[in-house]
Structure 1
Amino acid sequence: MRIPFIGITGSNGKTTTKELISRVLGKKYQVHYTKGNLNNHIGVPLTLLGITKSHEIAVIEMGANHQKEIELLCSIARPTHVLISNVGKAHLEGFGGFEGVKKGKGEMYAFAKNANATVFINTDNEHLKEMLGGYTMTFSYGTTGNEDVSGVLKGDASYVSLDWKTSDSDQMHAINSHITGTYNFENILSAIAVGTHFKVPAQDICDAVEAYVPDNQRSQEIKVGSNHIILDAYNANPSSMEAALTNFNKHFQGKRAVFLGDMFELGESALSEHKRIADLAIAAGFDHVILVGPEFKKAASGMNAIFLENSKEASQWFQEHPLQNFQILIKGSRSSKMELVMDGLKATA
């Protein structure tokens, strides 16, 4: 008998969601899941080839930067369960704007309807509800208390903490994660929902989430000398950049610096989105706003910020202007290679 296949896509957070779901399910099952972000037309087949008779469930991440790509990946993996984490301003050039993103990601819902697959749906997200329409083979999660799994964000600390429960019980379960960013709340809640659907005990779900520590430059916290770094340099788009800046401004106090690298594949929106993000960063009143790359320079020239050509220059800037006792956010698209800024930080530690 074929094992359950869970297909995951989304504009932001799909890799973190995949990692959390895999760890939660791993408390009960032998899980095979996408390693790294092997989520394209090459990576998905490679992931499927790694499934053995010992595996009891598979978690398959699917990425896309144009329409019909998710349709193709679903036809290859044929998931029995699907989850779209969210839709945002990512790959706007390839998708042809935000409505194109919704259409492209929505190909996963179209597959689910044709294949009678179960859809894990965040019912707080109006875009996802609109995309799904009246399809009823769902398992819901959200914050109203009426979902199959509902959660409440707790406290105001940098790490996400929440209480959650299932629809058939009033018992609340507490999670104190090691994941920064309130934007990760819905990613955690989705993993709880998947675990609950597959009968993973509640305490095992909590333990799995609490044990997860982000790495691979995704909301990764690093201490370098006297400085505290949020390294979120794996990728960026306007939606994730705004969320990261908002979270950093709210939860990290004291002396603060942000290093923001260019965002790619934005097409006609590139100028306006880079300007909007630069405006947000400057309005937050950070001690240093360092904008890296030609797109930021073109969009925000004349603003009260430091402009550098590339991440190597940003690394050199660090060595020439050592920072002490700073909270530092580093974020940018993959092609910006913002992780190289860490070299300058370490050289001054």
Structure 2
Amino acid sequence: MNIQELHGLFLNSSGINTDTRKIQKNSVFFALKGDNFNANEFATEALEKGAAYAVIDEEPAEKDPRLILVPDALQTLQELATYHRDYLKIPILALTGSNGKTTTKELINAVLSSSFNTVATAGNLNNHIGVPLTLLSMTDSTEIGIVEMGANHQKEIEFLCELAKPDYGYITNFGKAHLEGFGGVEGVVKGKKELYVHLKAAGKKLFLNLDDPKQREELSYKNTFSFGESLDADIQLSYLSKSSFAGIQVGDMEIQGQLIGAYNARNMAAAYAIGAFFEVPVAKIKTALENYVPANNRSQIINRNSNRIILDAYNANPTSMAAALENLDSMEGDHKVVILGDMFELGPSAEEEHQQIANKLEGLKLEKIYLVGENFFRTQTSEKIYKYRSFQDFSSNFHPEDISGSLMLIKGSRGMALERVLELL
């Protein structure tokens, strides 16, 4: 069966499934394989649960016309996604970067969906499987697609661009994320720039933050739509500093968001500029940005007992960790507490980067500092910093009454699962 024929079956289905626990009636099941699973073993089960077809890449034990045998199920899923993207012929906006991808994607979607029928990446399904699934979730009624692209090594963004063929792109920043896979900071820049290289080669448009000197240096391109405080920006704006929440000002209009941290003002500005480019009415942009509330452990504000908590436990790298600490330092409050977890995927730089964060903590006016994880445990610190090898060690020695009435930052890499601190409170 060729891709065109498979696409016809897909159009008459209820959508794509890759998990037998979430089978939808009349869907097309793709039997993907990983290091610890082989969904070919569950293809028949998928059909029994209501799937119309199952795409497999291993010879089945029993013949069934609903089983579609292909050389590689994942590659077929990717080819189907690209075929579907070409079939729809809708504008696709792709975004990547070291920090703020998902928050920026959500803000852009909030703005654009106020005037268009949009489909955006769900959660952080931004890899070689998530991007195809995002493209295949778009329909004839979709007017703009928003695709988040994540990467932890070079050539990954290039591949995702080949799948999605974006018409527009935005790079949030170049930071110290996934240093192990990228081989250092310069590798990060080269990897994230693959979106820019694709757009430039295809003559497509890049949204550009002119306030970021690294982007000015690396993204030299005429076909841009820019924003920032610079007088030469297409959308000139400024950043509000009246409260701990991010905000921007465009002309005489102030937009005060519900995202904690000055760094999120850049994400708001990007969403504003992209909305303006697509001619979303200013009033709708303002409403969308002011009403957006973060979720999923990303810069959430939580009041628990007598504590005000900034929960930013979804992910962490040296760039985002430093920004979060600087923001906490700028906030009003006498009783400030930080609980930080290890930052992962830093490779040979791990020891140095964790020590730099520890050094930064020594210079901040903080009432209590807790560091959790093997990397932070090995840092050289003063006695005012409490260090624990594991979350279990931390939870056994943590006394909530010691930090009552505090403004607290909780941040660490996803694998540390520091949202568990809320249970201790």
| Shorter-normalised TM range | over 0.9
- The structure that has the greater radius of gyration is 2
Residue identity opposite 2:284 in structure 1: D
Instruction: Tell me if 1:249 matches 2:329.
Output: yes
The structure 2 residue matched to 1:265, chosen from 342, 345, 349, is 345
Shift of the 301–29 alpha-carbon distance from structure 1 to 2, 3 Å rule, reads same
Please list the CA deviations of residues 168-206 of structure 1 after superposition, one character each: whole Å capped at 9, or x if unmatched.
xxxx32201111100111110000010001000011100
Instruction: Tell me if 1:108 matches 2:108.
Output: no
Higher deviation after alignment, 7-16 or 156-165: 156-165
The structure 1 residue matched to 2:159, chosen from 52, 67, 72, is 72
Instruction: Tell me if 1:14 matches 2:104.
Output: no
Please list the CA deviations of residues 9-43 of structure 1 after superposition, one character each: whole Å capped at 9, or x if unmatched.
00000111000000000110001000110001111
Higher deviation after alignment, 182-191 or 303-312: 303-312
Mapped to 2, the partners of 1:15 and 1:86 lie a distance apart of: 13
Instruction: Tell me if 1:156 matches 2:242.
Output: yes
Instruction: Tell me if 1:2 matches 2:89.
Output: yes
Question: 2:180 maps to which residue?
Answer: 93
Shift of the 303–69 alpha-carbon distance from structure 1 to 2, 3 Å rule, reads farther
Q: Which has the higher contact order (CA 8 A, sep 6+)?
A: 1
Instruction: Tell me if 1:217 matches 2:280.
Output: no
Tell me the matched-pair count. 338
Higher deviation after alignment, 242-251 or 308-317: 308-317
> Secondary structure in 2 aligned to 1:106?
helix
Shift of the alpha carbon at 1:155? 3.2
Please list the CA deviations of residues 85-112 of structure 1 after superposition, one character each: whole Å capped at 9, or x if unmatched.
0000111111111111000000000000
> Secondary structure in 2 aligned to 1:217?
coil
- What TM-score does the superposition give when structure 1 sets the normalisation length? 0.94
Shift of the alpha carbon at 1:149? 0.9
Question: 2:231 maps to which residue?
Answer: 145
Question: 2:273 maps to which residue?
Answer: 193
Equivalences for 1:234-245 in 2 at 5 Å?
234-245=314-325
Mapped to 1, the partners of 2:383 and 2:204 lie a distance apart of: 50
Is residue 297–residue 307 contact of structure 1 (8 Å, CA) maintained in 2?
yes
Is residue 341–residue 413 contact of structure 2 (8 Å, CA) maintained in 1?
yes
Shift of the 26–278 alpha-carbon distance from structure 1 to 2, 3 Å rule, reads same
Mapped to 1, the partners of 2:140 and 2:402 lie a distance apart of: 54
Is residue 90–residue 145 contact of structure 2 (8 Å, CA) maintained in 1?
yes
Mapped to 2, the partners of 1:326 and 1:339 lie a distance apart of: 17
Shift of the 303–77 alpha-carbon distance from structure 1 to 2, 3 Å rule, reads farther
Mapped to 2, the partners of 1:315 and 1:252 lie a distance apart of: 28
Question: 2:19 maps to which residue?
Answer: none
Is residue 173–residue 215 contact of structure 2 (8 Å, CA) maintained in 1?
yes
CA RMSD across the alignment: 1.4
- What TM-score does the superposition give when structure 2 sets the normalisation length? 0.77
Shift of the alpha carbon at 1:302? 5.2
Is residue 261–residue 293 contact of structure 1 (8 Å, CA) maintained in 2?
yes
Shift of the alpha carbon at 1:301? 5.2
Is residue 312–residue 411 contact of structure 2 (8 Å, CA) maintained in 1?
yes
> Secondary structure in 2 aligned to 1:300?
coil
Mapped to 2, the partners of 1:20 and 1:145 lie a distance apart of: 24
Is residue 315–residue 342 contact of structure 1 (8 Å, CA) maintained in 2?
no
Is residue 6–residue 60 contact of structure 1 (8 Å, CA) maintained in 2?
yes
- Which structure 2 segments of 5+ residues have no match? 1-87
Please list the CA deviations of residues 304-349 of structure 1 after superposition, one character each: whole Å capped at 9, or x if unmatched.
310112234334444465431111100001111111111101xxxx
Q: Percent identity?
A: 46
> Secondary structure in 2 aligned to 1:299?
coil
Residue identity opposite 1:35 in structure 2: A
Higher deviation after alignment, 102-111 or 291-300: 291-300
